[in-house]
Copies of this chain bind each other. A is one copy, B any other.
Amino acid sequence: MSGNGGKSATAQSSAANDSEPVYRIHVFCCVNERPPTHRRGSCGGKGSRQLCDYMCRLGMATGVRRIRINHAGCMNVCEHGPVLVIYPEGVWYRFETQEDVEEILRSHIVAGRKVERLALSIDPTTLHG
């Protein structure tokens, strides 16, 4: 990838990277766990850690190079959880089952096709305080 074309609409254009990305696909799965009675719930409380680890094992088996699948702390969209985000694209998904994980890997990560049924459309203006 050369230059930072297309990123100029963000406020950070002058700080953008101009070299080959370290990871072409960098996935962050929220694994934050709150007490079961917490009013916002939590991704970790819905099994996201196990699903993330499953995704990581499957991801390595795909043979796709330069992907990384990471645990992350609370990304503040708990109401949609369990959630993951794929950078640098910034695509967000809800994933509840191993089948969801398999489809995100097979379709988005391997074939480059967004999984519409799992994709989240999050209005930034509604983010929790």
Contacts and interface: CB of A to CB of B under 8 A. Distances in A.
B66 A75 contact: no
Number of copies: 2
Contacts of A23: 90, 124
Nearest to A4: B6
A50 B2 CA distance: 35
B26 A12 contact: no
Contact of A72 (B11, B20, B72, B127): B72
Contacts of A86: 12, 15
B25 A12 contact: yes
A99 interface: no
Given A9-B1, A70-B75, A91 B17 contact: yes
